[in-house]
Amino acid sequence: MSLVILITVEAEARLKIFTEEKRLSIGEEMYQFRRKVYPFEEKMYRFG
């Protein structure tokens, strides 16, 4: 019984890590896109 719970918890943890990584990669892609489109805005981020 406890083994089943452990596997479920591990699966949920892996799924959470996977979704976090996916969210981070999407955010990174958007950031790279914005840097290409708005280079001046990126300078403002850096200094402001």
Instruction: Give residue limits of the domains in the chain.
Output: 21-48
How far, in Å, CA of 30 to CA of 20, rounded?
15
Amino acid at 30: M
Q: What is the pLDDT of residues 1-39, one digit of tens each?
A: 688 888 898 999 998 988 888 888 888 888 888 778 776
- Assessment of whether the complete model's pTM goes beyond 0.75: no
Task: Write down how long the chain is.
Answer: 48
